């Protein structure tokens, strides 16, 4: 993919509620919101920075947000996790789920769920700079191959 990394800044909407404690939510709830936040941020990146047909957007976005690539990204960035981030990631990874991604192993699916829980935690805690840095790296990893 030959897209420039000189991207326009994508920001997330602020939550109205400022007293959220993300630890009060189950890891699967954090993963649920984290999956949506990741999807929105990646879609926003491509729409704002690259003009193409919608099916091409879909192809690029699904490649980044699929469980296999999320698991590979976890392996790349896990050494950088803070203690809180590692705790949330492990809670998400170890949560009992009743589903599995179509094209991923159970191990990859669990890693992806942990990453999504981490992203949900960062979003709910208002740590959008850290969240954005992780998502930007996911996109750059995909673009650079």
Q: How far apart are the first and last CA of the chain?
A: 8
Closest CA to 49 of 116, 109, 4, 113: 4
**If you compute the radius of gyration of the chain from its CA atoms, what whole number of angstroms results?**
15
35 a catalytic residue = yes
- Find out whether 135 and 42 touch, Cβ atoms under 8 Å: yes
Contacts made by residues 77-85, CB under 8 angstroms, sequence distance 24+: 77/134, 77/137, 81/118, 84/121, 85/118, 85/121, 85/122
Which one is catalytic: 35, 87, 129, 136? 35
Distance of CA 20 to the CA centre of its chain: 20
- Which residues are catalytic, by number? 35
């Amino acid at each position: 993919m030959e897209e420039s990394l000189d991207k326009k800044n994508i920001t997330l909407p602020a939550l109205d509620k400022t007293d959220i404690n993300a630890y009060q939510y189950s890891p699967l709830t954090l993963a649920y919101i984290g999956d949506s936040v990741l999807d929105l941020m990646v879609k926003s990146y491509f729409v704002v920075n690259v003009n193409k047909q919608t099916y091409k957007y879909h192809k690029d976005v699904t490649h980044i947000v699929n469980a296999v690539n999320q698991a590979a990204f976890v392996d790349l960035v896990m050494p950088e996790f803070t203690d809180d981030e590692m705790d949330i990631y492990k809670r998400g990874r170890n949560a009992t789920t009743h589903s599995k991604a179509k094209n991923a192993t159970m191990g990859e699916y669990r890693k992806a769920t942990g990453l999504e829980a981490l992203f949900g935690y960062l979003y709910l805690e208002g740590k959008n700079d850290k969240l954005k840095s992780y998502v930007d790296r996911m996109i750059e990893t995909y673009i650079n191959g």
